A = this chain, B = another copy of it.
């Protein structure tokens, strides 16, 4: 049983690393979507005019709050040497929370990537409006959100293995 504490430490360290990466990527996505605006021909375009981008913002904020709380708990547990959030209830909570958050991030990234791609093409083709800068920012934000989703899907696999049987 010697390998158990070490295994558990490796698992907790990699899960913490994932949560830090998720937080950082969501923070970058948040900044990028917030500054997504462009003035073309006197008309100002803001990300709030596109519903998919608004949804992205909501998803990013929810995901960021959740992952910052989980990161803090994980760091606190590591530093104090005592797992502050453990046991059957904690494992079940983490399983469902990680799963729901990863689905939210997935839908946010998909809506953002789809909207920026399709709207960009239509604005280019039909309205002759050059909104490259606008859609580049939104698209980059959605890409960071997508990487955060991939990391949260992996975190969700971790927490599935912690499910009590």
Contact = CB atoms under 8 A, between A and B. Distances in A.
Interface of A: 50-52, 55, 95, 99, 102-103, 106-115, 117-119, 121-122, 126-127, 153, 156-157, 160-161, 163, 165
Nearest to A162: B165
Nearest to A95: B160
Contact of A103 (B51, B106, B112, B114): B106
Nearest to A103: B106
Q: Which 5 A-B pairs have the closest CB atoms?
A: A111-B114, A107-B110, A52-B114, A110-B110, A160-B160
Q: Is the interface of A mostly helix, strand, loop or mixed?
A: helix
Nearest to A146: B107
A106 B106 CA distance: 7
26 contacts: A51-B114, A51-B121, A52-B117, A52-B118, A95-B160, A99-B153, A99-B156, A103-B103, A103-B106, A103-B153, A106-B107, A106-B110, A107-B107, A107-B110, A108-B110, A111-B111, A111-B113, A111-B114, A115-B118, A118-B118, A118-B119, A126-B126, A127-B127, A160-B160, A160-B163, A165-B165
A102 to B, nearest CB: 8
A114 B51 CA distance: 7
A115 to B, nearest CB: 5
Contacts of A114: 51-52, 55, 110-112, 114-115
